[in-house]
Amino acid sequence: MDAQIYRMMMTDNSVTKATLTPGLVRRVWSFAHAYRSRVFGFLAIVVVESFLGLAPPLVIKTIIDDAVPNADRSLVTILALAMVVVAFVNAGLSMVERWLSSTIGEGLIYDLRSALFDHVQRQPISFFTRTQTGALVSRMNNDVIGAQRAVTGTLGTVVSNIVTLVTTLVAMAILEWRLTGLSLLLLPIFLLPAKRVGKRLAGITREGFDLNASMNATMTERFGVSGALLVKLFGRHDDERDGFSQRASRVRDIGIRSAMYSRTFVVALTMVGAVGTAVIYLIGGRLVISGSITTGTLVALGVFVAQIYSPLTSLTGARVDLMTAFVSFDRVFEVLDAPNPITDRDDAVELARPTGRIDFDHVTFAYPSGIKGSVASLESAAQHLAPDEGSGPVLHDFTATILPGELVAVVGPSGAGKTTLSQLVPRLYDVTTGAVRVDGHDVRELTQASLRSAIGVVSQDPHLFHETVAENLRYAKPSATQEEMESAARSARIHDVIAAMPNGYDTVVGERGHRLSGGEQQRLAIARMLLKDPAIVILDEATSNLDSENEAAVQQALATALVGRTSLVIAHRLSTITNADRILVVDHGRLVEQGRHQDLLDAGGLYADLYRTLVRGDSWATPPVV
């Protein structure tokens, strides 16, 4: 019964019209390799339980036909005890079956989720820029659970129904083949309306899923700190309430209709069972009176007929049951099979004792096409209908060398390629042509772990986890002591702020660090970078959110902390630019000027124009066209 209702609720076009990946069943079976013995044990118990289900009706028949007419009290006692023993055996087998199904199911969920999480977190940044987070989380939850059902739920149900149906029909045919045939003739009376109910229920359930997904997306966006702040600032509370209530009321109405259709199915099945039983007793009673069959046979057939309708009905949708379950596996494997273009080569080497030299060797770079870097089913409908074919080059034949310990500022108009340049060093993207080298090694020839352990990055919008200050700091160095954390925090001029918090370093910073001010978030991120102690530091407008007082403090800290480290700084502030050892001026992805501050001013080129704009407005902008 539950399997049939579950099938109807989950049936949609993606299932009934789905074409599974070739070899999927073989791959599912290979994925469950570690649980094969338990799967076989589970199926064996299901078969034994199906056979044991035949015992009670046959025992009742023997009591009525043999024990009672012969007044054989000892036989009655033995048969009654046999029924009790069967009940206890069934109970024991049920416990073992449940243990096996739960260990198989939960084990598969663990394996799939762990494999998915590990694979997804290693995907390039381009994957995450196109993927809907909610869709990805749903894939890791709902589809993983659906895949687990394929092994422990659907497979067990189908096997149990087949064995129960075959053994029951054989037992009924042996007892009385005419009544067995009669009971089967009633099945179409139920199946035809049940199929229509199932289609209707599937339709309203699909709508319910869509509306629930919409509500979940709304809650995820509105209940985040940024979303909640936006709603408050625009005063849209009533509009948000009305919009959410409209969708919620639709879900409520669909829930009521779904409950009624489900109950209609249950009532119809119960009625057919009752009619079938009545017909068996009507015709069978006459056969008993005529002496064709015994009373015990009639009673046993009455019990058996009630046992065949449920598995027969379930098996009519067995294909959809299996398709529904295996579609979940297919969707999980779709993510697991997503290609990752940025992986370590087989002969990748470790970056040992990095000195921090960076070479951009005739680098040309274009962001990869979304088609190559994502999973279409995890993107929005708009992206799917109009996929991004990739943009033109962002960097053109860019060549520059940054020496160990050198502080280099990168400046240029918005969209010139400054941030892109900084993302190529830790190999967040691979160059299209040319090479980026660290200490003479092409970054594609290094292991990603060793490369990134040598690089510390602080971005314009640093991310802090919804954890304590200490846990956010130790993300850079899990073994960091309290003294090391405090030293890094002092260098970033954030220790006094942390110490003044209610729980000091054990204070939870809130989602994305929203319990801290923008400047405090930035300084905490700088402290985290300093704790990592990298050879190369990349600051992508890391002081942009600081006021003048905080910036002055952090600049003093960085002046000391960056000594001996190679520093690539993308900045809008005058202090960082004027104090740099060298300035790279980028325009439309090309290196157009480089040199020290005063030399570039004297040259009177693009940098001089940008600098005059900066002095007037304290931010880079595209210079006016003269």
Domains contained in the chain, CATH given: 2-336 (1.20.1560.10), 358-454+534-617 (3.40.50.300)
pLDDT the model gives residue 547: 65
427's tokens? 């190999």
Tell me the C-alpha distance between 321 and 10, whole Å.
9
Tell me the C-alpha distance between 380 and 386, whole Å.
10
Bridge-based pairing state of the strands 536-540 and 590-595: unpaired
pLDDT the model gives residue 568: 92
Tell me the C-alpha distance between 411 and 406, whole Å.
16
The per-type count for the chain, helices as H runs and strands as E runs, is 27, 10
The residue among 494, 498, 491, 493 whose CA lies nearest residue 562 is: 491
Backbone dihedral angles phi then psi of residue 214, each to the nearest 5 degrees: -65, -45
Tell me the C-alpha distance between 336 and 356, whole Å.
35
Helix (H/G/I), strand (E/B), else coil: 401? strand
401's tokens? 């060398």
Q: In one letter, which amino acid is 41?
A: G
CA angle 529, 531, 537 (to 5 degrees): 35
Q: What are the per-10-residue average pLDDT scores of the chain (626 residues)?
A: 42 47 74 83 89 89 88 90 92 91 84 86 80 73 74 76 86 86 72 63 64 68 70 76 82 81 72 78 88 88 81 66 71 83 90 92 85 63 45 88 92 87 92 94 93 87 85 90 91 87 87 75 86 89 64 67 84 71 92 92 88 61 37
pLDDT the model gives residue 222: 74
Q: How many CB atoms lie within 10 A of CB 503?
A: 11
Q: In one letter, which amino acid is 237?
A: H
The residue among 284, 295, 328, 400 whose CA lies nearest residue 154 is: 328
The residue among 545, 543, 548 whose CA lies nearest residue 558 is: 543
Q: Helix/strand/coil (H, E, C) string of 39-71?
A: HHHHHHHHHHHHHHCCHHHHHHHHHHHHHCCCC
